[in-house]
Amino acid sequence: MSEEILKIERVSKKYKLGMIGGTTLRDELQRKRAARKGLEDPTKQIGDKSIGRTGEEFLALEDINITVNKGERVGIIGHNGAGKSTLLKLICRITAPTEGSIEMNGRIASMLEVGTGFHPELSGRENIYMNGAILGMTKAEIDKKIEDIIDFSECRQFIDTPVKRYSSGMYVKLAFSVAAHLDSEIMIMDEVLAVGDMAFQKKCIEKMSKVSKDEGRTVLYVSHNMNTIRQLCERVIVLSHGHIIYNGDVETGINIYLGRDRDYVNKIAVTDEMRELEAGKNPTIESIDLNNEEGISPYGDKLRFSLEIKNRSAESFPFLVRIIMKTLSGTIVTMSCNEDTILMAGGEIRTFDVEMDTSNVVPGQYTFTFVLYEVGEMNADRNLEVLRDIAGITVKASPEFNHGMSWNSSWWGSFTNGALKITEV
Amino acid sequence: MEQGKFYKKISADTNNLNFNFSEIWKHRDLILLLVKREFVSKYKQTVLGPAWAIIQPLLTTVVFTFIFGNVAGLAECGAVPTFLFYMCGNIAWQFFSGCLTATSSTFIANSGIMGKVYFPRLCMPVSTTLSQLISFAIQSAMFLVFLVIYLFIPEYSIGINLCVLMAPVLILQMAMLGLGCGIIISSATTKYRDLQFLVGFGVSLWMYATPVAYSMDLFKSSAVLHIIARANPMTPIIEMMRYGFLGGQAGSLDWLSYGWSWIFTLVVLAWGISLFNKVERTFMDTV
């Protein structure tokens, strides 16, 4: 089991911003001439400040090292633009890395985006042969598998129709079926199951687990759907801005990904980057103290924050405080705000103690969003300061809580009103 | 598969000449499927289908015979029928220009499939060339039919000779030259789309620099023109084709310029393959 099948060493991929595609020879010559004379790029769009004269570079991936063993099922997660698809493209040899090397010990069946290399004019059957041939299989080898492929795809009725007439669901079903059945040692799936219906998604996940366990095939799977990642993968790699930030256990990886790649700290000094709104002539939060070194709050406790607030206006300013509590996956748990308007004199800095009753919140990880707002005429509120998901805390209970079972929020919610009182009549 | 040893390696360093021909051979089934695909999709939704492969050169030949042969009088081919003279040159030229034009759009036309799966990219232009060969075979059959018909007409004399045996070599050479030029252009078009426009225009210019629409005699008058004509690698190929099938009145043999033609072909093909190799690695980023 410990045989290495894929080894990625010090891989980087660099793209040139603003120079990608669509250039004509004339543009290029003009650009070079302008660069020599130190003039502004004449082919650049007016007002486009992001692209430098000589073309800035963008590292989609930087110094990536991954080793995958035979038969492993690895999930790759990360936000849009983290470099997941670029990584898969490099492994599939669609494009070459700028630095480093990728070594592999087998053939790759891939599904990048929707549909592998299907030709729209050809029928489903012809496309199956074509994809097999792309993997280097002979006609006889494909003949042996074709019935399984057609059965799995649920497209038998349309198998001799050109694929350009297929619905997107059928397209995905056939493409997945081809990738799963053809001989390959490594299977690469990029966010493809999102198109299929739930029943087919389930079937695909089961199929991928099966080929991995029975045939020892390696699966690399990219998805934003954490449930499918949990069901399929044994290991996850979390990418962020072209770097690997985590490589290991699935649950920890998912939490890191959902925690928006941030370590929550006890004392937060607010900087302008954290602010969702520009700091204007109004009250702003300057620092937050969770009064909790561990970041852990026992179940049933109330939370006590200290907020340092500064009135940036020269005049006195009335405002209210609101705290929104969310789970790590982004589901809103609750909101609390204060009753009486706070009035601060111009330029004043004061520190407030804030108590939030979280005693009914079940064990789990939560984030907090802090808002300062004012209520104007017609009871319309206006936000003055928004610090989104800036702080986090873990609520923990004693092992006896819920009879020792872990609390599943998607079934039972994030609040509990305590134990049921049951007495015999 | 060997244990513990990686047999496939993708790395950043580019060695363009280190080319894996065995990988292409392994994908021969794919090449055949691609040829079939290309041929099928070419004549899909046409009424006449593959008949177009015959109609096109036939009409061109008729037009050439009339305009360049009868009106302008550019075909100095003695007792050889002008029609056959033009048909021979035309079919050979169409094969070459077809290979060149079709392979010159390899990357752009196939970026859809190439952006999703890997296979040796050279399979694409190779299969394009092979599918051109199918059209060429149909046209050659037509030519041979006309040749036989004219052989029985006593007022014409056709000096068919042993040089005919060179035909397969000439066809191979045209395919290699067309492929070489085509992949150079397709590699360059991934960055500079300008070349797309140049291809159609450039190929027809090249045709007029080659004795397709006229005979070599036209060049004999001027030494400069003669050198230009001989420097053109397509000239000896067309001339030898005509010499073999139609005899000394229609074509000529010039081994010196034929040798040059081979050197040119091999250099272009080698350069093309090395350029293609370099571009195929990252063309998806720029196409």
Domain boundaries, chain B: 22-286
Please list every residue in chain A whose beta carbon sits closer than 8 Å to the beta carbon of residue B198. none
Inform me whether the C-beta atom of residue B22 falls under 8 Å from chain A C-beta atoms. Answer: no
Reported as a pLDDT band with limits 50, 70 and 90, residue B45 is confident
Report pLDDT digits (tens) over A382-416.
Answer: 899 999 888 888 888 888 888 877 777 777 888 88
State the nearest Cα–Cα gap between B185 and chain A, in angstroms.
Answer: 13
pLDDT tens digit sequence for A335-354: 999 998 999 998 899 999 99
pLDDT exceeds 50 at position B4: no
A21 contacts B194? CB cut-off 8 A: no
Q: Is residue A423 included in any domain, yes or no?
A: no
pLDDT at A9 over 60: yes
Tell me what the mean pLDDT of segment A56-60 comes to: 80
- With 90 as the cut, is the pLDDT of residue A162 above it? no
Report the distance separating Cα B270 and Cα B226, nearest Å.
28
Name the burial class of residue B178, with classes exposed (0-12), middle (13-18) and buried (19+) by CB atoms within 10 angstroms of its CB. buried
Decide if A399 is inside a domain. yes
Of the pLDDT bands very low, low, confident and very high (cuts 50, 70, 90), residue A262 is low
Of B12, B44, B287, the CB nearest to A121: B44
Query: Of B117, B189, B197, B198, which to mutate for an interface test with A (greatest number of A Cβ within 10 Å)?
Result: B117
Angle at A401 (CA atoms; ends A395, A403), nearest 5 degrees: 150
User: How confident is the model over B246-252, as a mean pLDDT?
Assistant: 85
Size of interface A-B (CB pairs under 8 A): 123
Whether B15 contacts chain A with CB within 8 A: no
User: What is chain B's length?
Assistant: 287
Quick: pLDDT tens for B181-216: 999 999 888 878 788 888 989 999 999 888 888 888
pLDDT for A44 beyond 60: no
Predicted pLDDT at A199:
84
Beta partners for residue A73, in sequence order? A219
pLDDT for position A53? 42
What are B115-126's pLDDT values in tens digits?
888 888 889 999
Are residues A120 and A102 both part of a single domain?
no
User: What is the domain extent for residue A140?
Assistant: 115-184
Residue type, B116: K
Contact yes or no for A89 and B284 at CB 8 A: yes
* pLDDT at residue A1 greater than cutoff 70: no
B3 pLDDT more than 50: no
| Residue B18 pLDDT level (bands cut at 50, 70, 90) | low
CB atoms near residue B142 (< 10 Å):
17
Supply the pTM of this predicted model.
0.71
- Model confidence over A352-378: pLDDT tens digits? 999 999 889 988 888 899 999 998 888
Chain A's closest residue to B29, CA to CA, is A133
CATH of the domain at A71: 3.40.50.300
Q: Assess whether A95 and A121 both reside in one domain.
A: no
Distance from C-alpha of B7 to C-alpha of A186, rounded to nearest angstrom: 14
What pLDDT sits at residue B183?
Answer: 92
Q: What is the structure's pLDDT at B8?
A: 64
Residues A98 and A210 in one domain: yes
Indicate whether A415 belongs to any domain: no
Same-domain check for residues A290 and A377: yes
3-state DSSP of chain B: CCCCCCCEEEECCCCCCCCCHHHHHHCHHHHHHHHHHHHHHHCCCCCCHHHHHHHHHHHHHHHHHHHHHHHCCCCCCCCCCHHHHHHHHHHHHHHHHHHHHHHCCHHHHCHHHHCCCCCCCCHHHHHHHHHHHHHHHHHHHHHHHHHHHHHCCCCCCCCCCHHHHHHHHHHHHHHHHHHHHHHHHHHHHCCCCHHHHHHHHHHHHHHHCCCCCCCCHHHHCCHHHHHHHHHCCHHHHHHHHHHHHHCCCCCCCCHHHHHHHHHHHHHHHHHHHHHHHHHHHHHHHHC
The pLDDT of residue B2: 37
Whether A410 is covered by a domain: the verdict is no
Note whether B10 contacts A3, CB cutoff 8 Å: no
Asked if the structure places residue A215 within a domain, the reply is yes
CA–centroid distance for A110 within its chain: 21
pLDDT of residue A49: 46
CATH number, residue A358: 2.70.50.60
Q: Which residues of B217-234 are buried (b: 16+ CB within 10 A; e: fewer)?
A: ebbeeeeeeeeebbebbb
pLDDT at A84 over 50: yes
How many domains does chain A fold into?
Answer: 3
Judged against a pLDDT cut of 90, whether residue B87 lies above it is answered with yes
Gyration radius from chain B CA atoms = 21
CATH of the domain at A130: 1.10.8
Name the 3-class secondary structure at A120. coil
Higher confidence at residue A196 or residue A118?
A: A118
ipTM of the complex: 0.77
Residue A265, exposed/middle/buried by CB under 10 A (0-12, 13-18, 19+)? middle
In angstroms, the separation between the Cα of residue B38 and the nearest Cα of chain A is 10
Nearest CA in chain A to B6: A105
Q: How far is B284 from chain A (nearest CA, A)?
A: 6
Q: Is the pLDDT of residue B260 over 50?
A: yes
- Residue A131 to residue B118, Cβ atoms within 8 A: no
| Chain A CB contacts of B40 below 8 Å | 121-122
Task: Based on the fold, state whether residues A233 and A276 are members of the same structural domain.
Answer: no
Distance CA B33, CA A171 (A): 21
Q: What is the pLDDT of residue B89?
A: 92
Mean pLDDT of A113-117: 61
On whether both A241 and A390 belong to a single domain, the answer is no
Within a domain: residue A422?
no
Q: Which residues of A touch B112 (CB under 8 A)?
A: 117
Task: Please judge whether B1 and A130 are an interchain contact, meaning their C-beta atoms are less than 8 angstroms apart.
Answer: no
- Answer yes or no: do A288 and A374 share one domain: yes
Q: Above 70 in pLDDT, residue A25? A: no
pLDDT confidence of residue A4? 85
pLDDT range class, residue A138, cuts 50, 70, 90: confident
Q: Is the pLDDT of residue B252 over 50?
A: yes
